[in-house]
């Protein structure tokens, strides 16, 4: 069970809000992030660093796209699919976006049911999230195959126009796909922990040895929503721009 704030006053001290709250939190000679388990604060710090990594990729992409003298391939056409005899622009990417957003929705609900100690619902929702993540990666594999095999796009050249299209595409979507794949693996691990009741019994984790609790579902959720968040930016800047 979680502990009340550790002070000698016998009960939790009320925390000021607003700017005085920031000053009070940082000058308290205790942990600075109140009401947040340290694991969650550390996940946020990691996500901040990951934000900078993805931003470096996207800004590099902007730089090479702005500076190339070759025409940039039109993503709307490159990622179109012929469905039922009609060519629909960018449809594959749109479906991938909806799949990832839906997985974020189920993840948010898994966190909620986790804190309510509803093990079955949390497990099912986590597994559903993982399934949608795997679907996303599968569709990405399909997209890569189509581009590499059918269109002849390579990281160093491509027949559609600027060579930089291939390099930035494989770099950015590859890195994002790796994040999704790692997320799917961890979702399955957390789902199994939830189903077995490890989090209720506070069983130590096999990797960290930390006592199990439902905060890890929320921390997992932060990572998963971040993956969705990055996709929002990739979708806007790479596929729609």
Partner 1 sequence: MAHAEGQQHPIGIYLKIWGLLFVLSTASYLVDYFHLQGYLRWTLIVVLMLLKAGLIVAVFMHMLWERLALLYVIVVPPVLLLVLLGIGALEADYTFLTRAVFFVQRLL
What secondary structure letter does DSSP report for 83? Answer: E
Which is nearer to partner 1, 98 or 142 (by Cβ)?
Answer: 98
3-state SS assignment for residue 12: coil
Identity of the residue, 148 or 235, whose beta carbon is nearer to partner 1 in the bound complex:
235
What's the rounded Cα separation, in Å, for the pair 92 and 146? Answer: 11
| Least separation in angstroms between CB 40 and partner 1 | 8
Is 112 or 181 the residue whose CB approaches partner 1 more closely? 112
Our CA dihedral for 118, 119, 122, 127, rounded to 10 degrees, sits at: -160
Supply the minimum distance, in Å, between the C-beta of residue 223 and partner 1.
Answer: 10
Q: For residues 114 and 129, what is the distance between their CA atoms, to the nearest angstrom?
A: 14
d(CA 166, CA 188): 32
CB of 76 to partner 1, least distance (A): 5
Nearer CB in complex with partner 1: 169/214:
214
DSSP-derived letter for residue 206 is T
Beta bridge partners of 26: none
Minimum Å distance from CB 166 to partner 1? 18
**Tokens, residue 90:** 């960018």
Nearest distance, CB of residue 89 and partner 1, angstroms: 6
Residue 225 CB coordination number (10 Å)? 16
Which residue's CB is nearer to partner 1, number 152 or number 200? Answer: 200
């Amino acid at each position: 069970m979680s502990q009340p704030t550790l002070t000698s006053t016998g009960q939790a001290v009320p925390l000021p809000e607003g700017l005085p709250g920031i000053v009070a939190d940082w000058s308290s000679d205790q942990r600075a992030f109140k009401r947040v388990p340290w694991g969650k604060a550390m996940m946020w710090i990691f996500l901040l660093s990951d934000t900078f990594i993805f931003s470096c990729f996207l800004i590099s992409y902007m730089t090479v796209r702005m500076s190339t003298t070759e025409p940039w391939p039109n993503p709307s056409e490159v990622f179109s699919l012929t469905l039922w005899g009609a060519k629909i622009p960018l449809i594959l990417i749109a479906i991938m976006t909806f799949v990832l957003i839906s997985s974020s929705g189920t993840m948010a609900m898994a966190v909620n049911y986790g804190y309510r100690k509803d093990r079955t619902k949390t497990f099912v929702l986590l597994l559903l999230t993982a399934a949608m993540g795997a679907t996303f990666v599968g569709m990405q594999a399909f997209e890569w195959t189509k581009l590499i095999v059918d269109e002849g796009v390579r990281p160093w050249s491509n027949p559609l126009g600027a060579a930089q299209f291939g390099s930035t595409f494989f770099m950015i979507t590859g890195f994002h796909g790796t994040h999704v794949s790692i997320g799917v693996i961890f979702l399955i691990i957390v789902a199994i922990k939830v189903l077995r009741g490890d989090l209720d019994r506070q069983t130590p984790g096999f990797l960290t040895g930390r006592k199990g609790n439902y905060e890890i579902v929320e921390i997992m959720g932060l990572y998963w929503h971040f993956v969705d968040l990055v996709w929002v930016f990739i979708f806007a800047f790479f596929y729609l721009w």
